[in-house]
A and B are shown apart, each in its own frame.
Chain A
Protein backbone atom coordinates (compact mmCIF):
# COMPACT_ATOMS: atom_id res chain seq x y z
CA UNK A 1 0.00 0.00 0.00
CA UNK A 2 1.07 3.55 -0.61
CA UNK A 3 2.89 5.53 2.00
CA UNK A 4 1.27 8.71 3.25
CA UNK A 5 2.94 11.96 4.20
CA UNK A 6 2.54 13.22 7.75
CA UNK A 7 3.31 16.76 8.87
CA UNK A 8 5.34 17.05 12.09
CA UNK A 9 5.18 20.28 14.07
CA UNK A 10 8.31 20.89 16.18
CA UNK A 11 8.83 23.07 19.22
CA UNK A 12 11.66 24.67 21.18
CA UNK A 13 15.05 22.97 20.80
CA UNK A 14 13.73 20.58 18.14
CA UNK A 15 13.53 23.38 15.58
CA UNK A 16 17.34 23.37 15.43
CA UNK A 17 17.12 19.92 13.86
CA UNK A 18 13.91 19.96 11.87
CA UNK A 19 12.72 23.57 11.53
CA UNK A 20 9.23 24.53 12.70
CA UNK A 21 7.70 21.80 10.54
CA UNK A 22 8.89 18.77 8.67
CA UNK A 23 7.28 15.83 6.91
CA UNK A 24 7.82 12.09 6.93
CA UNK A 25 6.41 9.43 4.64
CA UNK A 26 5.00 6.48 6.57
CA UNK A 27 3.51 3.12 5.70
CA UNK A 28 -0.20 2.56 6.48
CA UNK A 29 0.71 0.22 9.35
CA UNK A 30 3.21 2.63 10.95
CA UNK A 31 3.28 3.40 14.66
CA UNK A 32 4.16 6.74 16.25
CA UNK A 33 7.43 5.15 17.23
CA UNK A 34 8.16 4.51 13.54
CA UNK A 35 7.75 8.22 12.92
CA UNK A 36 10.31 8.99 15.64
CA UNK A 37 12.70 6.46 14.11
CA UNK A 38 12.32 8.10 10.70
CA UNK A 39 13.10 11.48 12.20
CA UNK A 40 16.20 10.09 13.91
CA UNK A 41 17.34 8.64 10.60
CA UNK A 42 16.71 11.95 8.85
CA UNK A 43 18.83 13.77 11.41
CA UNK A 44 21.04 11.52 13.57
CA UNK A 45 22.12 14.51 15.67
CA UNK A 46 18.58 14.60 17.06
CA UNK A 47 18.60 10.94 18.06
CA UNK A 48 19.25 11.54 21.78
CA UNK A 49 16.62 14.23 22.28
CA UNK A 50 14.09 12.23 20.28
CA UNK A 51 14.36 9.46 22.87
CA UNK A 52 12.74 11.77 25.43
CA UNK A 53 10.12 13.32 23.15
CA UNK A 54 6.41 12.62 23.27
CA UNK A 55 3.90 12.92 20.45
CA UNK A 56 0.59 14.74 20.70
CA UNK A 57 -2.37 14.35 18.38
CA UNK A 58 -5.31 16.75 18.67
CA UNK A 59 -3.85 18.12 21.93
CA UNK A 60 -3.56 14.70 23.61
CA UNK A 61 -0.45 12.60 24.15
CA UNK A 62 -0.50 9.27 22.32
CA UNK A 63 1.31 6.03 23.26
CA UNK A 64 4.27 5.68 20.91
CA UNK A 65 3.57 2.01 20.25
CA UNK A 66 0.11 2.75 18.84
CA UNK A 67 -0.66 2.78 15.15
CA UNK A 68 -1.09 6.23 13.63
CA UNK A 69 -4.62 7.54 13.65
CA UNK A 70 -5.98 9.02 10.46
CA UNK A 71 -4.56 12.47 11.04
CA UNK A 72 -2.17 14.42 8.88
CA UNK A 73 -0.40 16.40 11.61
CA UNK A 74 1.57 15.27 14.66
CA UNK A 75 3.04 17.51 17.34
CA UNK A 76 6.47 16.47 18.54
CA UNK A 77 6.82 17.45 22.20
CA UNK A 78 10.33 17.70 23.68
CA UNK A 79 10.77 17.34 27.49
CA UNK A 80 8.93 20.09 29.34
CA UNK A 81 10.97 22.86 30.91
CA UNK A 82 8.39 25.32 32.15
CA UNK A 83 8.32 26.94 35.59
Chain B
Protein backbone atom coordinates (compact mmCIF):
# COMPACT_ATOMS: atom_id res chain seq x y z
CA UNK B 1 0.00 0.00 0.00
CA UNK B 2 1.20 3.46 -0.86
CA UNK B 3 1.34 4.84 2.70
CA UNK B 4 2.22 1.67 4.62
CA UNK B 5 5.16 -0.66 4.24
CA UNK B 6 6.83 -3.58 5.99
CA UNK B 7 10.31 -2.71 4.69
CA UNK B 8 12.73 0.06 5.71
CA UNK B 9 11.65 3.58 4.77
CA UNK B 10 14.30 5.12 2.51
CA UNK B 11 13.60 8.74 3.38
CA UNK B 12 16.65 10.02 1.52
CA UNK B 13 15.24 8.57 -1.68
CA UNK B 14 11.79 9.98 -0.94
CA UNK B 15 13.34 13.38 -0.27
CA UNK B 16 15.41 13.31 -3.48
CA UNK B 17 12.29 12.56 -5.50
CA UNK B 18 10.36 15.32 -3.78
CA UNK B 19 10.86 18.14 -6.27
CA UNK B 20 8.44 20.79 -7.44
CA UNK B 21 9.28 24.04 -9.24
CA UNK B 22 6.91 26.01 -6.95
CA UNK B 23 8.55 24.73 -3.74
CA UNK B 24 10.43 27.34 -1.76
CA UNK B 25 10.46 25.14 1.35
CA UNK B 26 10.52 21.39 1.88
CA UNK B 27 10.21 19.94 5.40
CA UNK B 28 10.96 16.31 6.24
CA UNK B 29 9.93 14.80 9.58
CA UNK B 30 11.15 11.33 10.54
CA UNK B 31 9.60 9.69 13.58
CA UNK B 32 12.26 7.31 14.92
CA UNK B 33 12.42 4.51 17.46
CA UNK B 34 13.94 5.58 20.81
CA UNK B 35 15.78 3.12 23.04
CA UNK B 36 13.72 4.19 26.05
CA UNK B 37 10.21 5.13 27.05
CA UNK B 38 9.21 6.50 30.44
CA UNK B 39 12.39 5.21 32.03
CA UNK B 40 12.22 1.73 30.51
CA UNK B 41 14.75 0.35 28.06
CA UNK B 42 13.12 -0.40 24.72
CA UNK B 43 14.61 -3.07 22.42
CA UNK B 44 12.38 -2.58 19.38
CA UNK B 45 8.83 -1.79 18.24
CA UNK B 46 6.32 -3.61 16.11
CA UNK B 47 3.55 -1.78 14.29
CA UNK B 48 0.18 -3.14 13.27
CA UNK B 49 -2.61 -1.41 11.35
CA UNK B 50 -6.08 -1.93 10.05
CA UNK B 51 -4.33 -1.62 6.74
CA UNK B 52 -6.92 -0.64 4.12
CA UNK B 53 -8.49 1.93 6.42
CA UNK B 54 -5.14 3.34 7.61
CA UNK B 55 -3.88 3.71 4.05
CA UNK B 56 -7.06 5.46 2.99
CA UNK B 57 -7.04 7.76 6.02
CA UNK B 58 -3.42 8.83 5.48
CA UNK B 59 -4.29 9.66 1.84
CA UNK B 60 -7.23 11.73 3.12
CA UNK B 61 -5.10 13.60 5.68
CA UNK B 62 -2.55 14.45 2.96
CA UNK B 63 -5.27 15.76 0.65
CA UNK B 64 -6.78 17.83 3.46
CA UNK B 65 -3.36 19.26 4.36
CA UNK B 66 -2.57 20.09 0.73
CA UNK B 67 -5.71 22.13 0.40
CA UNK B 68 -5.63 23.69 3.89
CA UNK B 69 -1.98 24.80 3.72
CA UNK B 70 -1.71 25.32 -0.06
CA UNK B 71 1.00 22.70 -0.40
CA UNK B 72 2.52 21.75 -3.72
CA UNK B 73 3.30 18.26 -2.47
CA UNK B 74 2.78 16.07 0.58
CA UNK B 75 3.93 12.54 1.33
CA UNK B 76 3.64 10.20 4.29
CA UNK B 77 4.77 6.60 4.76
CA UNK B 78 4.33 4.61 7.99
CA UNK B 79 6.14 1.40 8.86
CA UNK B 80 4.45 -1.83 9.80
CA UNK B 81 6.12 -4.84 11.39
CA UNK B 82 9.36 -4.76 13.39
CA UNK B 83 11.35 -1.52 13.59
CA UNK B 84 14.73 -1.50 15.34
CA UNK B 85 16.15 1.32 17.51
CA UNK B 86 16.93 4.42 15.40
CA UNK B 87 14.79 3.01 12.61
CA UNK B 88 12.34 5.30 10.85
CA UNK B 89 8.77 4.51 11.91
CA UNK B 90 7.06 7.27 9.94
CA UNK B 91 8.11 9.95 7.50
CA UNK B 92 6.20 13.07 6.49
CA UNK B 93 7.44 15.40 3.75
CA UNK B 94 5.76 18.66 2.82
CA UNK B 95 6.58 21.12 0.07
CA UNK B 96 5.17 24.65 -0.15
CA UNK B 97 6.03 28.05 -1.49
CA UNK B 98 7.18 29.22 1.93
CA UNK B 99 8.44 27.65 5.15
CA UNK B 100 5.51 28.49 7.40
CA UNK B 101 3.07 26.43 5.33
CA UNK B 102 5.57 23.59 4.93
CA UNK B 103 6.23 23.41 8.71
CA UNK B 104 2.61 23.88 9.77
CA UNK B 105 1.33 21.31 7.31
CA UNK B 106 3.97 18.81 8.33
CA UNK B 107 2.93 19.14 11.98
CA UNK B 108 -0.74 18.88 11.04
CA UNK B 109 -0.13 15.68 9.10
CA UNK B 110 1.95 13.88 11.73
CA UNK B 111 -0.45 14.87 14.53
CA UNK B 112 -3.45 13.54 12.65
CA UNK B 113 -1.67 10.37 11.59
CA UNK B 114 -0.64 9.67 15.19
CA UNK B 115 -3.97 10.51 16.74
CA UNK B 116 -6.56 9.33 14.25
CA UNK B 117 -5.24 6.59 12.00
CA UNK B 118 -5.74 2.97 13.10
CA UNK B 119 -2.07 2.09 13.57
CA UNK B 120 -0.76 0.61 16.82
CA UNK B 121 2.67 0.38 18.37
CA UNK B 122 3.76 -2.69 20.33
CA UNK B 123 6.74 -1.81 22.52
CA UNK B 124 9.22 -4.49 23.51
CA UNK B 125 11.34 -3.88 26.62
CA UNK B 126 14.76 -5.11 27.69
CA UNK B 127 13.22 -6.97 30.64
CA UNK B 128 11.41 -9.27 28.20
CA UNK B 129 7.96 -7.69 28.63
CA UNK B 130 5.95 -5.89 26.00
CA UNK B 131 3.06 -3.43 25.91
CA UNK B 132 0.71 -1.96 23.36
CA UNK B 133 1.41 1.78 23.17
CA UNK B 134 -0.83 4.58 24.33
CA UNK B 135 0.05 7.70 22.37
CA UNK B 136 -2.13 10.46 23.44
CA UNK B 137 0.13 13.49 23.42
CA UNK B 138 -2.64 15.13 21.43
CA UNK B 139 -4.09 16.89 24.48
CA UNK B 140 -1.86 19.85 23.73
CA UNK B 141 -1.49 19.32 20.01
CA UNK B 142 -5.22 19.07 19.56
CA UNK B 143 -5.79 22.68 20.45
CA UNK B 144 -3.23 23.84 17.95
CA UNK B 145 -4.55 21.82 15.05
CA UNK B 146 -8.24 21.75 15.75
CA UNK B 147 -8.01 17.98 16.20
CA UNK B 148 -11.09 16.65 17.88
CA UNK B 149 -10.04 14.49 20.78
CA UNK B 150 -11.80 11.16 20.54
CA UNK B 151 -9.79 8.96 22.83
CA UNK B 152 -11.91 9.45 25.88
CA UNK B 153 -15.27 9.45 24.24
CA UNK B 154 -17.52 7.30 26.35
CA UNK B 155 -18.90 4.19 24.71
CA UNK B 156 -22.36 5.15 25.83
> Which residues of chain B have a CB within 8 Å of any CB of chain A?
31, 47-50, 52-54, 56, 78, 89-90, 110, 113-122, 132-136, 150-156
Contact = CB atoms under 8 A, between A and B. Distances in A.
A36 interface: yes
B91 to A, nearest CB: 11
Given A59-B53, A83-B135, A12 B154 contact: no
Given A11-B120, A12-B132, 16 more contacts: A12-B122, A33-B155, A51-B153, A59-B52, A75-B50, A79-B135, A79-B136, A80-B118, A80-B120, A81-B121, A81-B135, A82-B49, A82-B135, A83-B78, A83-B89, A83-B113
B132 A83 contact: no
Interface string A46-83: 00001111101001100011000000000101111111
Interface residues of A, number: 25
Contacts, number: 90
B119 A37 contact: no
Contact of B31 (A64, A65, A80, A83): A83
B119 A82 contact: yes
A37 B156 contact: yes
25 contacts: A11-B48, A12-B48, A12-B132, A33-B156, A40-B155, A50-B155, A51-B152, A51-B154, A51-B155, A52-B152, A54-B150, A60-B53, A64-B153, A77-B118, A80-B135, A81-B121, A81-B134, A81-B135, A82-B47, A82-B117, A82-B120, A83-B31, A83-B90, A83-B110, A83-B135
